[in-house]
Amino acid sequence: MFDGKRSVAEKIVYGAFDQIGSKSGIEPTKIFHDALENVRPHLRCVSSSRGATYQVPVEVRADRAQALAIRWLIDSSRRRGRPPWWVVYRAS
């Protein structure tokens, strides 16, 4: 959501859910929750100094893991971008 544009963000999300539902025939919220579960981190590395510095795996809290998963999905979708206008025009 940019600059508090909640209505724009809702239109994008609900539009994407409509497309997912019509193309797959599966409930869009189920697909979204499965995607979050696939992206969610389970472990993180913490530096521990015992003579030398070691990377020790530590479990990520559930709320932190969900926040990271949502942030990663949003960042990857923003980086993905859109096709040029002429590609969309020729496809229609």
pLDDT in tens, 40-53: 999 999 999 989 99
| pLDDT confidence bin for 77, thresholds 50/70/90 | confident
Question: 78 near 90, Cβ under 8 Å?
Answer: no
> Are 42 and 62 within 8 A, CB to CB?
no
The pLDDT value recorded for residue 88 is 65
CATH number at residue 60: 1.10.455.10
Number of domains present in the structure of the chain: 1
47: helix, strand or coil: strand
Statement: residue 73 has pLDDT above 60: yes
User: Does residue 61 lie in a domain region?
Assistant: yes
Checking if the pLDDT of 92 tops 60, the result is no
User: Does residue 91 surpass a pLDDT of 90?
Assistant: no
Strands (DSSP E) contained in 1-92 are 43-50, 52-59
The pLDDT value recorded for residue 63 is: 96
